[in-house]
C-alpha cells in the first residue's frame, strides 16, 4: 500500500516536471523566433531605406510584412537616415515575447 502511494507521488511529480519543462522550452523557442523576426524586419527596413532593395512601400511597411511572415507583429519602427530600429512581438501561452533590433551601416568613428 505504501509503495503504491509512493509510486503515484513520483509519477505525479514527474508529470508536473515534464509539463513545466515543456512550457519553458516553448517559451525559449518563441523568444528565439521573435529575435529572428526582429533581425529580419530591421534588415529589410534598413535595406529599403538605403535603396539597396527596391521597395514600393515605406521601410516600416516592409518591416511589418517581414515580421508578419515570421509570425510576429511589428509594434514599433523608427528610421533615421539608413538606420532602422524595430520592435516585434509574438504571443506564447498568453504571454508576449518582445524583441528589438537595429540595422544599418556601421557608426562613423
Domain-embedded: residue 6: no
State the residue for C-alpha cell 532593395.
53
Q: Is 5 exposed, middle or buried (0-12, 13-18, 19+ CB in 10 A)?
A: exposed
Q: What is the pLDDT of residue 59?
A: 94
Structural domain tally of the chain?
1
pTM above 0.75, yes or no: yes
Give the C-alpha separation, 54 to 48, whole Å: 6
User: Following CA atoms 104, 106, 108, 109 in sequence, which dihedral angle do they give, to the nearest 10 degrees?
Assistant: 150
Q: For 30-63, what is each residue's pLDDT tens digit? A: 889 999 999 999 999 999 999 888 888 899 999 9
Task: Cell 514527474: give the residue.
Answer: 14
Q: Would residue 59 count as lying in a domain? A: yes
> 5 in a domain, yes or no?
no
Structural domain of 42: 29-103
Residue 34 domain flag: yes
pLDDT in tens, 78-102: 999 999 999 999 988 888 899 999 9
Amino acid at each position: 500500500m505504501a509503495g503504491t502511494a509512493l509510486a503515484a507521488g513520483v509519477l505525479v511529480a514527474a508529470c508536473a516536471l515534464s509539463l513545466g519543462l515543456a512550457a519553458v522550452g516553448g517559451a525559449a523557442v518563441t523568444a528565439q523566433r521573435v529575435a529572428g523576426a526582429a533581425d529580419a524586419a530591421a534588415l529589410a527596413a534598413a535595406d529599403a531605406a538605403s535603396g539597396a532593395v527596391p521597395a514600393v512601400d515605406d521601410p516600416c511597411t516592409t518591416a511589418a510584412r517581414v515580421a508578419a511572415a515570421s509570425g510576429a507583429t511589428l509594434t514599433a519602427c523608427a528610421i533615421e537616415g539608413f538606420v532602422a530600429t524595430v520592435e516585434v512581438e509574438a504571443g506564447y501561452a498568453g504571454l508576449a515575447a518582445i524583441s528589438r533590433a537595429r540595422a544599418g551601416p556601421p557608426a562613423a568613428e
